[in-house]
Amino acid sequence: MPELEARLRGLSDEVAWPPTPDLSGSVGAVLAARREDGHTPRRRRVSRRAIAAAVAALVLIPAAGAAAFPGARDDVLEWLGLRHTEVQRTPSPPPPAAVRTGLDLGRRTTLADAARRAGFTPLLPAGLGAPDVVRVARLGAATRVTLVYRPRPGLRSLRGLRAGLLVTQVRGSLEGQLLRKVAGPGTDIRQVQVDGSPGLVFSGAPHVYLYLDPAGNILEDRPWLAGTTLVLERGDAVLRLEANAPPARLDQLAATLRAGPPPAP
Amino acid sequence: MARLAEDADLIGRAQRGDDDAYGMLVERYQTIAFRTAWLVCGDAAEAEDAAQEAFLKAHAALPRFRPGAPWRPWLLRIVANEARNRRRSAGRRTHLAGRVAGLDAAPPSAPGPEDVLLAGEERDELVSALRHLDPPQRSVVLLRYVLELSEAECAAVLGCRPGTVKSRASRALARLRVELEGGDA
């Protein structure tokens, strides 16, 4: 009954398909941005060996790890008071079978579009003005917004990037997920209060983030260069500031974070 | 055939680093990629992200793409995987087929294909008959006839063999005929 197939095909005309977005434009912009930034996509599979090595370093240093930050055990419990951020010195490696590609900064867009996609108004460091570049990426069920500020006095260039400061923000919809910070013995971790909000400053040796999404996938996010990283909870969002600057400079910048003025249409 | 030759030319140029050629490929296939993603994950914003990510992954995988192989099924497989991952990450358990007639899950917050199909009055007996198909059969009907994918493309999206698509579609059509004739299959 060819008529039946024809009727089924006719259903296609009944569907009000959502307008097709300009993917050629957005994909082209991402590819161009990657070439401009001088790097290939930072998505890479996390090797089992790499995770094992990172975790092995932690297993070997229970005492050294405690020495790296005062009152370690109690502080760790307090850190867990960061509702959406957990910092763990992991005793055993995560299941390697679940490992998949990591995350990059995402697609380039405008501040207004980022706010629309993320469902919140990104906070801006008041003294720096509007970011030079805004990027968004999906992170599980949430949208991650990254503000890129070009190098300037006091904010030297992050290695391999035309950026002096990255401000990453994810809404609290991460609740229910785990955000783990795997840090080796060379990483100094310091608890801070910034403008009344709890936070953690990581500096020293490189470290790696492992996100565990609701589907059980482990997502690696290695900060662009492990200069100094401040992870901060503000309201229902988790913010991360990365800069090639002393921790005190990040504290200053974080203290100025405010919801920016409405972006121009 | 001309289209395949044009694709092959664009792919070859893209493999040599011509981003403009890749942009033309994206433009050529963005609608089918986006719609496929939308049918799988049921959300336009997610579908946009899934389709974009799929094009980026396809670009990264271009060096491994076999010259002369059909591009569209290869791309749609990546699109479907990406859309499925996002649907899974969002905790949605709705089967793809449920999106045709909204049978096996609560409706998503944003209007999905089933809402559009069913908007207003019941569209017609055909949609009603589709409701009676089991989810795998409904998936095939949706992809094969509503989205008008080839058997090979359906197989790529569903992760099965073309022969499975063919037999499943045949059984689905037979079942639909029975439903439309008021029988009891």
Q: Which of B161, B141, B143, B140 is nearest to B152 (CA)?
A: B161
What's the gap in Å between the CA of A222 and the closest CA on chain B? Answer: 19
Q: Residue type for B4, please?
A: L
pLDDT digit string (tens) for A49-96? Answer: 333 333 322 222 222 232 233 333 222 222 222 333 444 444 333 333
Contact at CB, A11 and B126, closer than 8 angstroms: yes
In chain A, what are the domain boundaries? Answer: 42-259
Q: Is residue B185 part of a domain?
A: no
Domain-ending residue, one of B58, B89, B120: B89
- Any B CB within 8 A of A7 CB: yes
**Range of B176's domain?**
98-180
Rounded CA separation A54/A197 (Å): 29
What confidence category does residue B56 fall into, taking pLDDT thresholds of 50, 70 and 90? Answer: very high
Pick A215's closest partner by Cβ from B88, B117, B177.
B88
DSSP letters, B8-44, are HHHHHHHHTT-HHHHHHHHHHHHHHHHHHHHHHH--H
- Strand, coil or helix: what is A208? strand
Residue A163 to residue A147: CA distance in whole angstroms = 10
| Cross-chain Cβ contact A141/B55 below 8 Å | no
My answer on whether B82 and B126 are in the same domain is: no
Q: Which residues of B touch A (CB under 8 A)?
A: 19, 22-24, 26-27, 30-31, 33-35, 38, 44-49, 51-52, 55-56, 59-60, 85-86, 88-91, 113, 116-117, 123, 126-127, 141, 145-148, 173, 176-177, 180
A139 → chain B, closest CA residue? B89
CB B14 within 8 Å of CB B21: yes
Kindly list the residues from chain A whose CB atom is less than 8 angstroms away from the CB atom of residue B180.
4
Q: Is residue B109 part of a domain?
A: yes
B72 and B8 inside one domain: yes
What's B132's domain CATH number?
1.10.10.10
Are B112 and B80 contained in the same domain? no
Please answer yes or no on whether B30 and A141 come within 8 Å at the CB atom. Answer: no
CA pair distance B76, B61, nearest whole angstrom:
14
Contact residues, chain B, for A23 at CB < 8 Å: 26-27, 30, 33-34, 48, 51-52, 55
Q: Which of B24, B58, B89 is the last residue of a domain?
A: B89
Same domain, B124 and B171: yes
Task: For residue B99, give the chain A residue with the closest CA.
Answer: A15
Interchain contact A6–B (C-beta under 8 A)? no
Alpha-carbon gap, residue B54 to B82, rounded angstroms: 6
Q: Does A213 touch chain B (CB under 8 A)?
A: yes
Work out how many domains chain B is built from and give that number.
2
Q: Are A163 and A157 in contact (CB under 8 A)?
A: yes
User: Cβ distance A79 to A191 under 8 Å?
Assistant: yes
Contacts of B14 in chain A (CB under 8 A): none
Interface ipTM: 0.77
CATH code, domain carrying B14? 1.10.1740.10
Last residue of a domain, one of B51, B69, B89: B89
User: Same domain for B131 and B153?
Assistant: yes
Co-location of B61 and B118 in the same domain: no
Shared domain for B102 and B164, answered yes or no, is: yes
B98: number of CA atoms within 13 Å, CB side?
13
Same-domain check for residues B103 and B82: no
Do B152 and B106 lie in one domain? The reply is yes
The shortest CB-CB distance from B27 to any of A1, A24, A35 is to: A24
Q: A217: which chain B residues are within 8 Å (Cβ-Cβ)?
A: 85, 89
At B83-126, the pLDDT tens digits run 888 877 665 444 444 444 333 333 333 444 444 444 334 455 77
Backbone phi and psi for residue A264, each to the nearest 5 degrees, phi listed first: -65, 145
Pick from A24, A143, A144 the residue to mutate for testing the B interface (most B CBs within 10 Å): A24
Which H or E run includes A37?
A: helix A23-37
Per-residue pLDDT tens listing for chain A (265 residues): 478 888 888 777 767 677 888 888 888 878 877 776 554 433 333 333 333 333 322 222 222 232 233 333 222 222 222 333 444 444 333 333 222 233 367 788 889 888 888 888 888 988 788 898 888 887 666 678 889 888 888 888 776 567 788 888 876 533 333 344 445 555 566 667 777 776 667 766 555 544 444 344 444 455 544 567 787 777 767 788 888 777 788 888 888 888 765 444 4
Of A4, A138, A213, the CB nearest to B49: A138
Place of tokens 């509007």: A130
